[in-house]
Amino acid sequence: MNGGLATAKPGTLFIAQLRRELTSILRSLAEALNPLVFLFLAITLFALGAGGDPETLGAYAPAIIWVLVLLANQLSLEAMFRRDFEDGTLEQLLLLARPLFIPILAKVCAQWCVTGLAMTLLSPIAAMMLYLPLDALGVTMLTLLTGSPAITLIGAVGAALTVGLRRGGVLLALLVLPLFVPTLIFGAGAIMQAVAGMGTSAQIYWLMAISMLSLTIGPFAVQAALRISLEQ
Amino acid sequence: MTLKEFWHRLGSPRWFYQISGHFGWAFGALALGLLVIGTFWGLAVAPPDYQQGNSFRIIYVHVPSAILAQSAYMLMGAAGLVLLVWRMKLADMVLATTVPFGMSMTALALFTGAVWGKPTWGAWWVWDARTTSMLVLLFLYIGLYALRQAVPRQETAGRACAVLAVVGVVNIPIIKYSVDWWLTLHQGATFKLTESPSMPPEMWLPLLVNVLGFYCFFGANLVGRLRLEILRREHGTAWVQELMAGGRT
């Protein structure tokens, strides 16, 4: 097994790690669903706080959806490396897997499936709850689909940096939320443009560019951060 | 001494401590001179703005502090990269000592901006592009500071901060651009009174002097803090013990 991990082809390594991550997520599904429940709970609280007025909610829906997606993602990040760190799997992975960024990428991929992708698929419900005009629904899903990889990748760097710390939760938020600013601006901005009936391709391209940049740099930053975190 | 040799020598905090004493004083003296000249020139000699009157004079503190806030972050990104690649002790010390300075410069820029904004825009706080990116920069500084406090082992803390600083430097241009974009989406650039390129030389020359003065102040501050940090971290070594014993007698 160990020898297999060290000599496996990158593709095989990726698939094996992804399968392992997804299995592990499926076996503790309740935990994986918590961020999604949080998302809808927070939307309900927003609606209650605004008195359920369709006009107020509709006007703020792009911002509410995007901010809550960011927060729900951020909440789920803490668990990303936690269990593997505690039972020593992460250490084995760091010692054995070459190249290391491949399994990291698989981990990020699995994490994105249960957060970014799941939130994208559920966003129509969120949009209806917040009275977002139906015309903007497609753009909403598109911004979430193109923007959420960047969130997971940037967030993974923060999660890797704080995995060894006893109370990493608030610190993690402090580290990653400022880095989410561009994604939030382009994401919520595109939905607002769509509501106003204007073109949104520029923002979507920007979201894709940010995701691509994060994909290029992120795994290596996560790798460096994990090595540092496991030193102590 | 060749550049390569100099680079290798920087690996030794002791060597840096020995050569840096004079630099600190030189930077300090230059800073004092430039800041006195620039501030006096700006506050007393430069003509008042035709629109803002005398209230514009806060620019002589506001702009230098904003420039320094960004320069300090860039320096931290460079130091972070050096630390990650060459594991130079001094780079970690630069990283550690620049955070408080950069944070205070960012806070000063935001504060002077608010004070300036009140008479000019009629509000203490406006979600203007530059103000907003400075605020995000402040949060980035606070994050670096908090991370260093949270990680128990010093060496690990330094390298963790290095990763964060490098990621931050990559993100800063994107944040700046996106915030600019966001502003243009909301409203036109009506507030950029300082942006007029027709600012006369008698107004921007003292500003330039003050910016240089702030840089020298940064240099003096950095060297002074680095020397203290070197003594603090190397207090167990023979040369520091000797130095301290020598200083006492």
Put simply, the answer to whether A161 touches B181 (Cβ < 8 Å) is: no
Packing angle between helix A54-86 and helix A29-49, nearest 10 degrees? 150
Q: How many residues does chain B have?
A: 249
Q: Point out the residue among B140, B163, B177 whose CB comes nearest to the CB of A161.
A: B163
Nearest CA in chain B to A179: B171
Q: CA A199, A71, A139: angle at the middle one, nearest 5?
A: 20
Question: Which residues does residue B53 pair with via DSSP β-bridges, in sequence order?
Answer: B49
Give burial (CB, 10 Å; 0-12/13-18/19+) of A96.
middle
Chain A contact for B84, CB < 8 A? yes
Segment B92-108 shows an average pLDDT of 94
Q: Point out the residue among A157, A171, A228 whose CB comes nearest to the CB of B150.
A: A171
Put simply, the answer to whether B179 touches A175 (Cβ < 8 Å) is: no
- All residues of chain B having their beta carbon less than 8 Å from the beta carbon of residue A185 are 178-179, 181-182
Put simply, the answer to whether A175 touches B164 (Cβ < 8 Å) is: yes
Per-residue confidence (pLDDT) for residue B146, from 0 to 100: 92
Per-residue confidence (pLDDT) for residue B189, from 0 to 100: 40
Chain B contact for A41, CB < 8 A? no
Chain A contact for B11, CB < 8 A? no
The Cα B110–Cα B248 span in angstroms is: 43
Per-residue confidence (pLDDT) for residue A108, from 0 to 100: 95
Chain A contact for B85, CB < 8 A? no
Per-residue confidence (pLDDT) for residue A4, from 0 to 100: 52
B window 143-202, beta carbon within 8 A of A? 143, 146-147, 150-153, 155-156, 159-160, 163-164, 166-168, 170-171, 174-175, 177-179, 181-182, 185
DSSP string, B217-230: HHHHHHHHHHHHHH
Put simply, the answer to whether B160 touches A177 (Cβ < 8 Å) is: no
Put simply, the answer to whether A221 touches B147 (Cβ < 8 Å) is: no
Give burial (CB, 10 Å; 0-12/13-18/19+) of A132.
buried
Q: How many CB atoms lie within 10 A of CB A162?
A: 29
pLDDT classification of B247: cutoffs 50, 70, 90: low
Nearest CA in chain B to A230: B156
Distance from CA of A23 to the nearest CA of B (A): 31
* Cα-to-chain-centroid distance, residue A113: 9
Per-residue confidence (pLDDT) for residue A96, from 0 to 100: 81
Can you read off the two tokens belonging to residue B231?
């003594």
Per-residue confidence (pLDDT) for residue B188, from 0 to 100: 44
Per-residue confidence (pLDDT) for residue A65, from 0 to 100: 94
Q: Which residues contact B30 (CB under 8 A, 6 or more apart)?
A: B213, B216
- Averaged pLDDT in 10-residue chunks for chain A of 232 residues: 60 90 90 92 92 87 94 91 89 84 93 94 93 90 95 95 84 93 93 88 93 94 92 74
CA distances to A22, A60, A165, B83, B174 from B49, in Å: 64, 40, 53, 46, 33
Give burial (CB, 10 Å; 0-12/13-18/19+) of B114.
middle
Per residue in B15-58, pLDDT tens? 888 888 888 889 999 999 999 999 999 888 888 877 777 888 88
Per residue in B172-221, pLDDT tens? 888 888 888 777 654 444 444 455 545 777 788 888 899 999 999 999 99
The Cα A6–Cα A11 span in angstroms is: 13
Chain B contact for A211, CB < 8 A? no
- All residues of chain B having their beta carbon less than 8 Å from the beta carbon of residue A206 are 178, 181
Q: Is it the case that residue B249 has pLDDT exceeding 50? A: no
Per residue in A189-214, pLDDT tens? 999 989 988 888 999 999 999 999 99
CB A119 within 8 A of CB A33: no
The Cα A123–Cα A114 span in angstroms is: 13
Record the pTM: 0.89
Put simply, the answer to whether B185 touches A189 (Cβ < 8 Å) is: yes
Per-residue confidence (pLDDT) for residue A124, from 0 to 100: 93
Per-residue confidence (pLDDT) for residue B194, from 0 to 100: 53
ipTM of the complex: 0.88
